[in-house]
Structure 1
Amino acid sequence: MGFHTFDSDQAAKLEDAAARYRHCSREELHALVAPQSDAVLADLGSGTGFYTDDLAPHAGTVFAVDVQTVMHDHYREKGVPENVELVAADAADLPFATGELDAAVSTFTFHEFGNADALQEVARVLRPGGRLAIVDWDREGAGEAGPPRGETYGLDDAVGLQRAAGFAIDRAETRPETFVTVARLDG
């Protein structure tokens, strides 16, 4: 897909807790990612760090990965936790060693980077058994929030991309506006 990136001029919207938690709460995010105190995680498409901040207190290192450096500027303005490292990179070209990450998460950004190359790269940087948790706008969703549905994936397409990259799917479900997947790297 990769139809667009989020308009950085609208970055303040990414800090609207009521709107964000309506579609994925802090508690749900923790259940999906299952962070451990020594875990190394990457938040793919981290934006202003809204969800990164929810994971940081429960992990060893969190990489806030965003292709737009201006999003990191917004994150710096509000304050970046000590164990969070800002990384400017495309998901198809991550600057991590093979097997470096315990988990990766994408909250409402998979439609911006999800393709075969990016999923192969995420698989490369995850350790065997590592988790990939995705919450994104569903192409079949009601369309009341998020990007135009033509710029999103349906659950089956997202699952197909993950399986093709070597992931086993532990959870895959749709909701009124979104889908959720939790995948584990085979090996």
Structure 2
Amino acid sequence: MEQRTERVEIEGAGFVARLTPGGRVGLLALHASNEGGTGELAEEVAGRCGATSLVFTQPGPRPVHITSARMAAEHCALLTDFLAHVRVTVSLHGHMRSTAPAAIFVGGGNRSAARLLASGLRVLQPEFQLVTDLAKIPAALRGLHPRNPVNLTRDAGVQLELPPAARTTGAADVPPRRVVDALAEGVRMLTPPR
């Protein structure tokens, strides 16, 4: 299947959604223009693993941040298609927590998938600290809202909140190779056998 794009407006902000169909695991980047490297990471890992990816970008110099729970399926046909096709979602986000500059927060409603994905990311330690205990993840980064798209697929999913060093290299929105490799390994663990 070929890549599809759709222009959508959410709360007055224009977005371009880009869906690359693949398997039943989906990589989602709702804030690719605000959270550099997340869109690139979603597409590269999905391509490696045969997964589905959906990336939202905003044209123009000043992207706005609309919370995940407000980017509901009714705004976008491609998001509706993604949610209907994918079994489990890995939603990629960026955080700038000065108190946790090396923390990768592993949230989302599917806690068994979160632990499995985290096992693939363990190779990133000690450079990055994996935080899987929801009580230790800041409330706004837990990815538990019932309208958050990460929780709207059949088996819900995992919300990864990545610090800048885990999603960009210097000034470029190019994810570090080490993170791409580790995330791809984690996504493979979520992929059901054929």
For this structure pair, what is the TM-score category when the shorter chain's length is used for normalisation?
0.3 to 0.5
Q: TM-score, normalised by structure 1?
A: 0.33
Q: Relative CO higher for 1 or 2, CA cutoff 8 Å, sep ≥ 6?
A: 2
